Amino acid sequence: MTNKYLVGAAGSSELTSMTAADLAQKIHARELSSEEVTQAHLDRIADIDGDIHAFLHVGADEALAAARQVDEQLDSGARPASPLAGVPLALKDLFTTTDAPTTCGSKILEGYMSPYDATVTKRIREAGIPILGKTNTDEFAMGSSTENSAYGPTHNPWDLERTAGGSGGGSSAALASGEAPLAIGTDTGGSIRQPAALTSTVGVKPTYGTVSRYGLVACASSLDQGGPTARTVFDTALLHEVIAGPDPYDATSVDRPVAPVVAAAREGARGDLTGVRVGVVKQFDRDGYQSGVLDQFHKAVDHLQSLGATVVEVDCPHFDDALAAYYLILPCEVSSNLARFDGMRYGLRVGDDGTHSAAEVMALTRAAGFGPEVKRRIILGTYALSVGYYDAYYVQAQRVRTLIAQDFSKAYEQCDVLVSPTTPTTAFKLGDKVSDPLAMYNFDLCTLPLNLAGLCGMSLPAGLADDTHLPVGLQIMAPAFADDRLYKVGAAFEATF
């Protein structure tokens, strides 16, 4: 391999290219220690992250201490705390952690230490998974390239001049480069699936309400969902079962058992999709997308058919309005959620010198602390929610949201899963879209609809585009609470494509 940044590069430790499942098996059999596995990943980070910039914070001492604790427990004969105990992970810097700063990629939270762990963080710790550090993100998860991070962009290990996607480019780049075997992302409009597609990794946006949002700093509360990412479908499934499940601290958490995603991934790996009905969404299979992406997508659909699936075309006419609805609903929720960053309670405070009123301190703090995209969305949302515009914009967007949910319901009467390319093109160059917000928004075309409907989706590698030689993602979508279908179809595809 000539690219020293990709997983498995010559000179990197073998431990940083293994799957999480294999690492876990060897750690639990005491053929490897969690400490040496964790150290190998910290070494890889020290080696290349100066160029990749996947991490905003690396917690080497904390990760090694957690790893040693797992090793001691296993040495004393205790059963592993979870199937992933001892395997380290990278956590998107949107989840609170008591032992590392939580910045959300924003200056307004520079150095901010949370007094509590997010539920996702807590479950990871309880599962015996050492946390390597916090990964880069567009500011408060608003963006599609990590270029809106106040701390500089993440570079795609496939080509350092290109984006690793966003907002969770840090987590996906960490996986693709072998800096971490497991990572956590958040997906409000595609921020798990889209970076997964651009880096040839696997990412799942679980059904809304199945992964706790407690301690996940809010972007748009009706859309946000944490989820698992890894390099294989099976590793992703293992992590999914660690983080999902009811949580009394999240009022939108649903009280029902987690879909059997690990069993589904095992079943799928046999490569038989007989009886599975796959719908190709007409709206996401069209001219204007990069031809290399469409070619790979068509190959992927043919391949699913060859595994026994029945393929039909489905029409979801309101998906064409998803972008407009999303970019109204999201800013409205953002304008409300981000009101809490007022210079009084968290992070940055500017102008607190006795010469300014409280209102002035708030204004100065927000002016200095938020970046341009966050400000744009706060202004848009405030405008759309104001008297006289509320019905025309916010209420109208909510109606469109209902129509999109109805399109999905109709499609799932004919199909078990829907498929599309995850993104209209492969990874674009850093800088290409920064001055054109609409072009940036348009990149989310294929991933947004299911967030609006609260459903689940996966992106997994579907080879390289012939024209750009860069990764293409296949998106699989499934109905609410049928996350296991993603894993069955995804594992079958991965095992045989």
Annotated catalytic residue, options 92, 122, 134, 488: 92
CB of 330 to ligand GLN, least distance (A): 6
Bridge partners, 248 (sequence order): none
Q: Which is nearer to ligand GLN, 137 or 236 (CB)?
A: 137
d(C-alpha 483, C-alpha 206), whole Å = 7
Annotated catalytic residue, options 191, 200, 253, 335: 191
Token pair recorded at residue 436 = 């054109």
d(C-alpha 365, C-alpha 189), whole Å = 28
Stretch near ligand GLN under the rule CB under 6 A, chosen from 33-41, 68-76, 154-162, 181-189? 181-189
CB of 187 to ligand GLN, least distance (A): 5
How many CB atoms are located within 10 Å of the residue 432 CB?
A: 16
Active site residue 107: no
Answer whether 39's CB lies under 8 Å from 170's CB: no
Q: Is position 191 an interface residue for ligand GLN (rule: CB under 6 A)?
A: yes
Stretch near ligand GLN under the rule CB under 6 A, chosen from 141-149, 227-235, 284-292, 339-347? 141-149
Q: Which is nearer to ligand GLN, 328 or 361 (CB)?
A: 328
Annotated catalytic residue, options 167, 171, 172, 200: 167
d(C-alpha 298, C-alpha 300), whole Å = 5
Task: Please choose, from the candidates 418, 480, 457, the residue with its C-alpha nearest in 3D space to the C-alpha of residue 205.
Answer: 457
The single residue among 130, 143, 169, 206 that binds ligand GLN, judged by CB under 6 A, is: 143
CB of 138 to ligand GLN, least distance (A): 7
CB of 69 to ligand GLN, least distance (A): 33
Q: Is position 444 an interface residue for ligand GLN (rule: CB under 6 A)?
A: yes
Q: Is position 195 an interface residue for ligand GLN (rule: CB under 6 A)?
A: no
Q: Is position 144 an interface residue for ligand GLN (rule: CB under 6 A)?
A: yes
Q: Which is nearer to ligand GLN, 189 or 209 (CB)?
A: 189
**3-class DSSP state of 169:** helix
Name the residue type at position 228: P
Instruction: Please tell me whether the peptide bond between 167 and the residue prior to it is cis, using omega within 30 degrees of 0.
Output: yes
Answer whether 88's CB lies under 8 Å from 41's CB: yes
Stretch near ligand GLN under the rule CB under 6 A, chosen from 9-17, 118-126, 185-193, 400-408? 185-193
CB of 170 to ligand GLN, least distance (A): 12
Footprint on residues 328-387 left by ligand GLN (CB under 6 A): 330
Q: Is position 196 an interface residue for ligand GLN (rule: CB under 6 A)?
A: no
d(C-alpha 481, C-alpha 258), whole Å = 8
Q: State the number of binding residues for ligand GLN (CB under 6 A).
A: 14
Q: Which is nearer to ligand GLN, 69 or 336 (CB)?
A: 336
Q: Which is nearer to ligand GLN, 167 or 420 (CB)?
A: 167
d(C-alpha 263, C-alpha 255), whole Å = 21
CB of 110 to ligand GLN, least distance (A): 20
472 Cβ contact partners less than 8 Å away, ≥ 6 residues apart: 197, 292, 293, 296, 297, 421, 422, 426, 461, 462, 463, 464, 465
Cα 242 to Cα 65, 85, 211, 246, 280, distances in angstroms: 20, 10, 10, 12, 31
d(C-alpha 280, C-alpha 359), whole Å = 52
Name the residue type at position 472: V
Token pair recorded at residue 215 = 């301690």
Footprint on residues 279-338 left by ligand GLN (CB under 6 A): 330
d(C-alpha 440, C-alpha 274), whole Å = 39
The single residue among 189, 195, 457, 479 that binds ligand GLN, judged by CB under 6 A, is: 189
Q: Is position 135 an interface residue for ligand GLN (rule: CB under 6 A)?
A: no
Bridge partners, 365 (sequence order): none
d(C-alpha 422, C-alpha 483), whole Å = 17
Footprint on residues 29-48 left by ligand GLN (CB under 6 A): none
Q: Is position 142 an interface residue for ligand GLN (rule: CB under 6 A)?
A: yes
Q: Which helix (H) or strand (E) holds 373?
A: helix 372-384
Q: Is position 136 an interface residue for ligand GLN (rule: CB under 6 A)?
A: no
Q: Is position 187 an interface residue for ligand GLN (rule: CB under 6 A)?
A: yes
Stretch near ligand GLN under the rule CB under 6 A, chosen from 24-32, 187-195, 288-296, 381-389? 187-195
**3-class DSSP state of 343:** coil
CB of 217 to ligand GLN, least distance (A): 11
Active site residue 106: no
The single residue among 190, 371, 424, 463 that binds ligand GLN, judged by CB under 6 A, is: 190
CB of 341 to ligand GLN, least distance (A): 17
Per DSSP bridges, beta strands 202-205 and 456-464 are antiparallel
Active site residue 92: yes
Interface pattern 207-226 for ligand GLN (x via CB under 6 A)? ------------x-------
Backbone angles phi, psi at 344, to 5 degrees: -100, -40
CB of 249 to ligand GLN, least distance (A): 21
Name the residue type at position 246: P
Stretch near ligand GLN under the rule CB under 6 A, chosen from 112-120, 180-188, 346-354, 456-464? 180-188
Token pair recorded at residue 135 = 């990964």
158 Cβ contact partners less than 8 Å away, ≥ 6 residues apart: 3, 5, 6, 176, 198, 199, 200, 427, 470, 471
CB of 222 to ligand GLN, least distance (A): 13
**Residues with catalytic function:** 92, 167, 191
Which residues lie near ligand GLN (CB under 6 A)? 141-144, 167, 186-191, 219, 330, 444
